[in-house]
Structure 1
Amino acid sequence: MNTEIILETQALQKRFTGRKPFFGEAKVVRAVDGINLKIRRGETLAIVGESGCGKSTLARLLVRLMSPSDGTVVYQGRNIANVPAEDMRHLRRDLQFIFQDPFSSLNPRMTIGALIEEPLLVHNIGDRQDRRAKVAAMLARVGLPASVIDRYPHEFSGGQRQRIGIARALITEPKVVIGDEPVSALDVSIQAQVINILQDLKEALGLTLVIIAHDLAVVRHMADRVAVMYLGEIVEQGPVADLFANPKHPYTAALIAAIPVAQVGARSAAAQLQGDPPNPIDLPTGCRFHPRCPHATEVCTTTRPALAATGPDRWAACHHAATLSLQGHAATGQTRSAAAQARFDLYRDRSADAARTTTPT
């Protein structure tokens, strides 16, 4: 396993301050709150959690689509959190982003060829003929014919538009690609096609992938490691198979237990969460998860737990991670992760993928 760190965050924070009321102080949301994260060259890291946990904000901070309030983002030894705009423009050739909604990220007035070629123009890569050839080759890699090069985004389906977004992100041959829920808006068969494309391109181009997701079936299928977020913090990290089989944090166990399985009686009562996440502008003291945790004790209400090692390449932010028994949840995780894997195995055959892929008419 490659242990070289290509991208790293240190005490990374992003705070959003609301409008100051006539009386009192302005409210502050700590969307990302002191995150330390190391991303290894060539791996696929999944960042998961409920909506509103800060994972999409973290993704944008990693490529400086947002500037952090504090902390650093280090790419290949260089802090990119405060580099000049011109230097950041050059770095963006190596750091690319795939958006959740491909249609809103594609200019409707530009042809597909122009959209994919644009990053090459920005970075002065090749002449017109070379760029046209690169665009055609990239379209072929994502499963679209060169004949679509002069068509417009509205002429394509959602899955095809996501392929176009992937082609646009990869045309500069980046080293790191961040995907913000790149398949969440697609049905399961199209999800599998797009995921297979990403995995094939990762191997062919030597990419490092960071995938933001809330669907653990997707995560189980494609990730090497998982970081679990809750209210701006990472509460657990580990290799995907190990984390699914033996979660160390109650929140992770609850997420795994919630994976849907198409089987009568498969709904599990284990690790079911009670209530909604706390108000992010009025966070609880101590562990932020304790109001919903069935294993919380007094120390959880007063002392914020640190992210600490719980085994080889395993980390958890829980006061009771070393002693908490989640064996029942581990069995649930194994069953449900197997179901998640089977869900995507149905669409693994590349010839079936190609048969289901249609081109716009």
Structure 2
Amino acid sequence: MSAPVILSAQGLRRDFVTRKPLFGANTIVRAVDGVDLQILQGETVAIVGESGCGKSTLARLLVRLIDPSEGSVWYGGRDIAQLDPRALRDLRRDLQFIFQDPFSSLNPRMTVGALIEEPLITHGIGDKAQRRARTNELLARVGLLPSHANRYPHEFSGGQRQRIGIARALATGPKLIVADEPVSALDVSIQAQVVNILEDLKEAFGLTLVIIAHDLAVIRHMADRVAVMYLGEVVEIARTEDLFTAPRHPYSETLLAAIPIASVRPRRARARFEGDLPNPTAPPPGCRFHTRCPYAQPRCQTHRPTLQDLGDRQVACHFADTLDLKGLNGGAVMRSPATTARFALYRAARAQEDGKTVAGKTDSSTEESLT
């Protein structure tokens, strides 16, 4: 029996107006255009695509950090796009956000303890002593020390700041967390630690996660399902392994082919992007990918495909049933030296944290390892 739907987006659209100086005409960028997406309780859904495809805008729409131009987002039987400010504030207890930049997302004038306590104060959770205890508990959960509560954000490294951001998102006991590129600003070894923290917290608190990411190796490691975006549209939604081994949309195939594979053996021909990314203010008619698609037919230039259910996934392609697309051959990317080393780092980081964390307390050597 499948899990219930915890959040659902229907016909979601967001337009941005770019203003020209003097007498120039304004132009409209449709960053998200008619997205339908369902998130199941307890799963991890990844949203992937090129820079500028609209995935970060979609992430903000899902928790209403920005308002949609059209469409709806349903949570708990209510369209959160229609909630008044008071009801929306109450909703924040259940829906939280982890920002991409761990440097600018924390107020430099507030201590770490004040940053984590702020959402508790806003929602009237606990008294002063209970809030302090909750802060110390959350710091321990993300591998930091209680004494860190008295420090300021500039005293921490990037990985530590991202841990603080995770602790702050957990403060109110949310049911769903949206993380926008949570590891992209960190180096590889710190990425492994933060990924492990997110996975452990998901299991411990029964969270539902929506992850925005560029690194497909991270996605394969974390996600249960993947939604692929191109120019504001979702073009394929599938289980992670199904997408990696047998994509059904040409854009998904091309994204997978872009994963670097270190090998001394001769490489087979891999799908490649043709042409330039279209202007988002004037997207091409029909299928938006047809200008770069090696399989495009005349119909693709005039008829816009919609997401169709193929049983094991949803795909927005007129010829999804007939194309023979190449995946990663049952995990070729997992066997490459570069990716094998990446996942070895994940395992090593987890073993290191397990060895240094006892009964929820972190010893002083952990602080040095995270700097």
In structure 1, distance between residues paired with 2:56 and 2:261 = 26
In structure 2, distance between residues paired with 1:348 and 1:337 = 14
Letter in 2 for 1:144: L
In structure 1, distance between residues paired with 2:48 and 2:60 = 15
Residue 9 of structure 2 contacts residue 38 of structure 2 at CA under 8 Å; is this kept in 1? yes
Unaligned runs of 5+ in 2: 357-364
1:27 Cα shift?
1.3
1:330 Cα shift?
2.0
Residue 261 of structure 1 contacts residue 267 of structure 1 at CA under 8 Å; is this kept in 2? no
Instruction: Evaluate the alpha carbon distance shift between residue 56 and residue 299 of structure 1 in structure 2; reply closer, same or farther with a 3 A threshold.
Output: same
Residue 196 of structure 2 contacts residue 346 of structure 2 at CA under 8 Å; is this kept in 1? no
- 1:1-361 equivalences under 5 Å are 2-19=2-19, 25-265=25-265, 269-312=269-312, 314-326=313-325, 329-332=326-329, 334-339=331-336, 340=339, 343-349=342-348, 350-353=350-353, 357-359=366-368
1:147 Cα shift?
1.5
- Secondary structure of the 1:33 match is strand
In structure 2, distance between residues paired with 1:276 and 1:332 = 28
In structure 1, distance between residues paired with 2:311 and 2:341 = 28
- Secondary structure of the 1:346 match is helix
1:266 Cα shift?
7.3
In structure 2, distance between residues paired with 1:36 and 1:352 = 41
Instruction: Evaluate the alpha carbon distance shift between residue 337 and residue 232 of structure 1 in structure 2; reply closer, same or farther with a 3 A threshold.
Output: farther
In structure 2, distance between residues paired with 1:101 and 1:87 = 28
TM (norm. structure 1) is: 0.94
Residue 244 of structure 2 contacts residue 328 of structure 2 at CA under 8 Å; is this kept in 1? no
Residue 221 of structure 1 contacts residue 341 of structure 1 at CA under 8 Å; is this kept in 2? no
- Secondary structure of the 1:274 match is coil
1:23 Cα shift?
6.4
In structure 1, distance between residues paired with 2:268 and 2:21 = 45
- Secondary structure of the 1:137 match is helix
Residue 31 of structure 2 contacts residue 231 of structure 2 at CA under 8 Å; is this kept in 1? yes
Instruction: Evaluate the alpha carbon distance shift between residue 139 and residue 27 of structure 1 in structure 2; reply closer, same or farther with a 3 A threshold.
Output: same
In structure 1, distance between residues paired with 2:24 and 2:112 = 51
In structure 2, distance between residues paired with 1:170 and 1:69 = 29
Deviations 1:259-313 (A, max 9, x none): 122333576641111232100001111100011111111011111111111232x
1:188 Cα shift?
1.4
Letter in 2 for 1:248: R
In structure 2, distance between residues paired with 1:157 and 1:2 = 41
Letter in 1 for 2:137: A
**Bigger shift: 157-166 or 303-312?**
303-312
Deviations 1:161-188 (A, max 9, x none): 0000000000111001000000011111
Letter in 1 for 2:87: D
In structure 2, distance between residues paired with 1:96 and 1:205 = 14
Residue 2 of structure 1 contacts residue 42 of structure 1 at CA under 8 Å; is this kept in 2? no
In structure 2, distance between residues paired with 1:61 and 1:264 = 44
- Secondary structure of the 1:103 match is coil
Cα RMSD after superposing both structures: 1.9
In structure 2, distance between residues paired with 1:142 and 1:287 = 44
1:25 Cα shift?
5.0
Residue 202 of structure 1 contacts residue 209 of structure 1 at CA under 8 Å; is this kept in 2? yes
Unaligned runs of 5+ in 1: none
- Secondary structure of the 2:177 match is strand
Instruction: Evaluate the alpha carbon distance shift between residue 145 and residue 283 of structure 1 in structure 2; reply closer, same or farther with a 3 A threshold.
Output: same
Deviations 1:56-95 (A, max 9, x none): 0000001111000000010121100021001100000110
Letter in 1 for 2:19: R
TM (norm. structure 2) is: 0.92
Identical aligned residues as a percent = 63
Letter in 1 for 2:288: R
Letter in 2 for 1:208: T
In structure 2, distance between residues paired with 1:55 and 1:33 = 11
Instruction: Evaluate the alpha carbon distance shift between residue 337 and residue 273 of structure 1 in structure 2; reply closer, same or farther with a 3 A threshold.
Output: farther
In structure 2, distance between residues paired with 1:154 and 1:62 = 30
- Secondary structure of the 1:126 match is coil
In structure 2, distance between residues paired with 1:253 and 1:222 = 20
In structure 2, distance between residues paired with 1:177 and 1:184 = 17
In structure 2, distance between residues paired with 1:10 and 1:76 = 15
- Secondary structure of the 1:290 match is coil
In structure 2, distance between residues paired with 1:51 and 1:294 = 21
**Bigger shift: 55-64 or 334-343?**
334-343
